[in-house]
Structure 1
Amino acid sequence: MTSNKRAILISLCTSILLMGAKFIAFFITNSNAILTDAAESIVNVLASGFAFYSIYLATLPKDENHPYGHGKVEFFSAFVEGVLIGIAGVVILIKSIYSLFYGNVVSDLYDGAMIITLTGLANLVVGLYLIRTGKQNKSLTLEADGKHLLTDAVSSAGLVIGILIIQLTQIYWLDSVISILLGIYIIFHGYKLTRKSVGGLMDESNLELVEEVVEILQDNRQAPWIDVHNLRAQQYGADLHIDCHVTLPYYFDLNAVHHEISSIDKMINQAVSRQTELFIHADPCLPACCNYCKVENCPVRAEAFRAEIKWSMENVTKNQKHFEQ
C-alpha cells in the first residue's frame, strides 16, 4: 500500500470513530454547538471516503483515454470536499438560528467538552500527518483532507471554550451564537477549498510553480538559450506539465537543438523535485535578438551584444519574444 493510500485510510477510520464520539456527546448534552461539530464529522467521513477512491484513481498509469494520467481527479475530490463542507455549514447556520429564537435545553456540558477535546486533539494529529504526507507526495487530495481536519480541530477548540463559558455563566443562548460563528467559519473554509479546486479543473496556471521554474531557468541559463517565452505550468495530481518556447540560434542543426532542449528538461526535473513533463517549442533566432544574445563568435551576428534581458514572471509568461515588447 502506498503512503498516500495509507494516510487517507487512517483519515477515513479516524473520521468514523470521531463522528460516533461527537454524536454521543450531542446525545448527552443536546447542545447545538456540539451538533455542529458532529454534523461536520459526517462530511469528514464522506470526504475521506471519496478522497480514498480519488487517490486510487490518481495512481493509475496513463492510458489511451487519459494521456495526461488521472491526477486531475484530485482537483475534483477537493471540489466535492469543499462543497460538502459548505453544505454542512449552511445546515448548521439554519439549525442554530432557529434554536437562537426558539430556545434549546442543554445539560452535562462538562462531559461533552471532554469528549470534544479528545476528538479535536485526534483531528489535529491526523490533519498534520495528512498535510505533511500530501506535501511530500504532491497530493492535493491529502492536503485538502488534512486542512479540513485542522479546520475541524480549530472549530472544536473554539467549541470547548464556548461550552465552558456557557457552563460558567449559565447563559445558554450562547450555545446557538457559538454554533452560528462556527458555521460561518466552516462555510468560509469550504469556499476557499472549492475555489482552489475549480482553478485546477479550469487549468488555471499555478503561479508559484511558474515563478519557481522561471527562477531555475534564469539561475542556470546558457548562452544558446537566447529567449524563453510563453511559459505555462499545470499540475495533474503529483505530475507537473510545463510548456514554453525557447529561441535558439537558427543555424543549429537538429542534433544541437535536441541537445539544448534535453538539457533544459534534465535541469528542471532535477531542480523541482517532482516528476515533470516538458513540451518545448524551439524558435529560430532573428536579427532583432542579437542585442541580447550572448553566443560568442556567432557567425551571423547582425548587432553587437548590449545587455542581458533578465527572465521574470512578467516577460517569460508572455506569448512574444522580448524584442517585441
Structure 2
Amino acid sequence: MNERTQVATLSVASNSFLTLAKIVIGSISGSVSILSEGIHSGIDLIAAFIALFAVRESGKPADSRHAYGHGKIENVSGTIEAVLIFIAAIMIIFKAIQKAYSILEGGGSTSDNLGIGMIIMGFSSLINFFVSRQLMRVGKRTGSIALEADALHLRTDVYTSAGVFCGLLLIKITGWAILDPLVAIGVALLIFKTSFELTKEAFSPLVDVSLPEEECEIISEVLRLHANEFVEFHKLRTRKAGAERHVDLHLVVAKYTPVVDVHELCDRIELEINKKLHGTHILIHAEPCSKRGEACPVEEATSPTCQRCQAKNENKRQRLDN
C-alpha cells in the first residue's frame, strides 16, 4: 500500500468514528449544531471513500483505453466531493431554520447533555487537525487533488467543530438555546465557502486550464538555462490531470544539428523540469531554424547560435556544390 492510499485509508477510519460519535451525541443532546456536524462528517466520510477510490484508480498505469493515464479521476472525484459538501450545507441550514422556529415558538430548550457534546466537538477538532495536516502534506508532495480535497474537508471540520464547541459553551453559560441553530448556520456558511474553493480547484483541470503561473515560470527558467543550446522555444502549453502535469512545446534548434544532439538536449530539459516538478510528462517538438543574419530571432545576429546556423548552412551548401 503506497503512501497516498495509506493516508486516504486513515481519513476513512477517522471520519467513520467521528460521524458515528457526533450523530449519537447529537441525538442524545438534541443539539442541531452537533447533528449538523454529524451530517458534515458523514459527507466527509463519503468524500474520504471517494478519495480512496480515486487515488487507487489514478495510480494505475496507462492502458489501451486510457493512453494518457487515469489522472483525471482525481479531478472528477474532487468535483463530486464539492457537490456533496454543498448539499450537506443546504441540509444543515434547513435543519437549523426548523430548530430556530421551534425555539422561538417555545418548543426548544437547552439540554443537560451539552457537556458530552463539547467533549466530542473538541476531540473531533483535534483529530481532524492532525489528519488534515497529514493529508495536505502528502497531497501537496504528490500533487494529488483528491487528497488535497479531502484535507480541505477536514480542515473545515476543524473550524466548524471548534465553532460548535464555543456555541455549546455559550449555551451552557447563558442558557440561550437560540445560539444552537445560529451556530449551525455559521457552520453551513463555512461549508459553502469550502465547496466553492474545492469546485474551482478540482474542476479547472477538467477543461485543461494551464498550470499555475509559478509552475510555468519554473518550466521557462529551465529552458532559459539552456538558451545557448537552441535558438528559441514557442507554443508552450501546459495542463494538469490529477497528480500528473503535461507540458508540450516547440524547440527551435540550429539547422542541420545532428538528431542525436537534439535528442540529448531534449532529454536534459525534460529531466531538469521533472526534478523541479515531479510527475511531469513533457513532449518537445524540435524544428530547425530557418532564419539567418538580421532575421535571426535571438537578440543579436552575431550570437553564437546564429553563427552556428550560418556555418552549418555554409557547410551544407559546399557539400551540395561538390
Tell me the equivalent position of 1:169.
174
1:243-276 deviation line (CA, Å, top 9, x unaligned)? 011121123232332232222122222332x132
Structure number with greater Rg is 2
1:212 counterpart (218, 221, 226)? 218
CA change 1:99–1:290 in 2 (3 A) is closer
Are residues 112 and 257 of structure 1, via their aligned partners in 2, closer, same or farther at CA, if it must alter by over 3 Å?
same
Where does residue 296 of structure 2 map in the other structure?
289
Residues 249 and 299 of structure 1: CA distance in aligned 2, closer, same or farther (over 3 Å): closer
SS at match of 2:237: strand
Q: What TM-score does the superposition give when structure 2 sets the normalisation length?
A: 0.88
User: Partner residue of 1:59?
Assistant: 59
The equivalent position to 2:126 in structure 1, one of 109, 115, 121, is: 121
Q: Answer whether contact 1:25 1:116 (CA < 8 A) is retained.
A: no
**What is the match of residue 311 of structure 1?**
none
Q: CA deviation at 1:80?
A: 1.0
What is the deviation of 1:102?
2.9
Paired positions, count: 299
1:234 aligned counterpart, secondary structure: strand
Q: Does the 8 Å contact 1:21/1:119 carry over to 2?
A: no
Provide the C-alpha distance between the structure 2 equivalents of 1:42 and 1:118, rounded to a whole number of angstroms.
16
Matches within 5 A, 1:184-195: 184-195=189-200
What does residue 298 of structure 1 align with?
308
For structure 1, the 5+ residue unaligned runs are 302-325
How does 1:35-184 map onto structure 2 within 5 Å? 35-103=35-103, 104-107=108-111, 108-184=113-189
* Distance change >3 Å, CA 232–CA 44, structure 1 → 2: same
Residue-by-residue CA offset, 1:81-124 (whole Å, 9 max, x unaligned): 11111110011112112222232333022221111111111111
| Alpha-carbon distance, 1:290 to partner | 4.6
Identity within the alignment, %:
31
Query: One-letter code of the match for 1:295?
Result: P
* Greater share of residues in helix: 2
Amino acid at match of 2:137: R
Distance of aligned partners of 1:271 and 1:243 in 2 relative to their CA distance in 1, 3 Å threshold: same
Q: Does the 8 Å CA contact 2:74/2:145 hold for their aligned counterparts?
A: yes
Q: Deviations over 1:39-67 (max 9, x none)?
A: 10110111111111111111111101111
Q: Provide the aligned C-alpha RMSD in A.
A: 1.7
Distance in 1 separating the partners of 2:309 and 2:79: 56
